[in-house]
Structure 1
């Protein structure tokens, strides 16, 4: 089943760790639905469980219990290789630090997810160029990360997240390493590509200006997720 209005569905997700003497509950019965094309912001104090939830959404960690359904696919029973394949096909990631490969051009950095799914090198570069143009980097495609500004590097990272046409982009403090002016231009770009690509965005942020752009804001408090 893949034809669904929800890009992402989280049902009764808990995450607990045993530290040798007691059980630590990081997430407590989290429920979340993210529709296609929706932009959602999750705010909350450090240690509240935001990053743990993002890792579970991104199939980088498994919940202790509960369901994680991406584009209609229940992921909990998948093998690790199936999870990896689904992550590459359905999800995009943007982090506070761009994590670009310094020896590659912007074009090849963006093409990398397509090459990893065995798309032809020529086709991957064509698609990467199209997305780089859409994020305003038409004239910077052959520059390496060290030749780009901080804001340009983060735009390359955003293009890389979008190039495989994911149903959800998960963004962890995407403007946290940018100055105020650059961050504000990134805010506008996130909103623009959210609508242009009809891709759902789940953004974890401490920045109230970025959170205010979202269609919905949620607060994570001691492992419980609630509407603002």
Structure 2
């Protein structure tokens, strides 16, 4: 497969996993983190994955994001199977079709909010002015148009998370993977952040797969999946 083959296929799910397993061998011990996990995230859908610490949620999200490889099973992103792709091709598919939001914003302190958001487009070697204009538009979408030239150190925690969300959206991905996106925020700010996630989901049609401990916030998603001991037991 060439990079030109990584084209968006209309009518296919945003994200799909089939029979994923993940096993770590640590000396004589064999630790199964994921056990026969299958799921589908449709285009425009918001799915919340809940479960206790150590249940396998973050491992699943890393594999769905092509940041780790399963011991067995297959991941399909935006209609393209990751099986057999080179690391360069996985990187291209990830950059084009997936966005990421984490508990900590991971913004680059030496760059403005605008340039942090533009970075994924600059990495794919798009024209810098075009990238910055796209970043400006998505910052407006998350309510931070007036903070575009501010640096991370000049922003509140909630604002930094909104910049991180804008960065995830700037490539117009099929799906955003969010790992505890409200976990580092106070309760009021967490609610506002989740409201923003649902608003962006509705307005942009971007799918979201969100890992969270917060059952109340997860209830706002279209669908809730429960993980226990490496398995999806409901959803």
Q: How does 1:9-24 map to 2 (within 5 A)?
A: 9-24=16-31
Alpha-carbon distance in structure 2 between the residues aligned to 1:134 and 1:226? 36
- Offset at 1:3? 2.4
Alpha-carbon distance in structure 2 between the residues aligned to 1:22 and 1:150? 41
In structure 2, what is the equivalent of residue 145 of structure 1? 152
Alpha-carbon displacement from aligned partner over 1:194-220 (angstroms, at most 9, x marks no partner):
111101100000011220110000011
In structure 2, what is the equivalent of residue 160 of structure 1? 167
TM-score, with structure 1 as normaliser: 0.98
Alpha-carbon displacement from aligned partner over 1:97-118 (angstroms, at most 9, x marks no partner):
0000001000000000000011
Alpha-carbon distance in structure 1 between the residues aligned to 2:81 and 2:90? 10
List gaps (5 residues or longer) in structure 2. 1-6
Among candidates 52, 63, 68, match of residue 45 of structure 1 = 52
Alpha-carbon distance in structure 1 between the residues aligned to 2:157 and 2:16? 33
Q: How does 1:147-226 map to 2 (within 5 A)?
A: 147-226=154-233
Larger mean Cα displacement after TM superposition, 144-153 or 19-28: 19-28
In structure 2, what is the equivalent of residue 104 of structure 1? 111
Larger mean Cα displacement after TM superposition, 124-133 or 14-23: 14-23
Alpha-carbon distance in structure 2 between the residues aligned to 1:151 and 1:169? 18
Match of 1:213, SS state, is: coil
- Offset at 1:25? 1.0
Alpha-carbon distance in structure 2 between the residues aligned to 1:115 and 1:158? 17
Aligned length: 228
In structure 1, what is the equivalent of residue 3 of structure 2? none
Alpha-carbon distance in structure 2 between the residues aligned to 1:63 and 1:201? 21
Q: State the Cα RMSD in Å.
A: 0.9
TM-score, with structure 2 as normaliser: 0.95
Match of 1:14, SS state, is: strand
In structure 2, what is the equivalent of residue 33 of structure 1? 40
Alpha-carbon displacement from aligned partner over 1:56-84 (angstroms, at most 9, x marks no partner):
00000000111100111110210111111
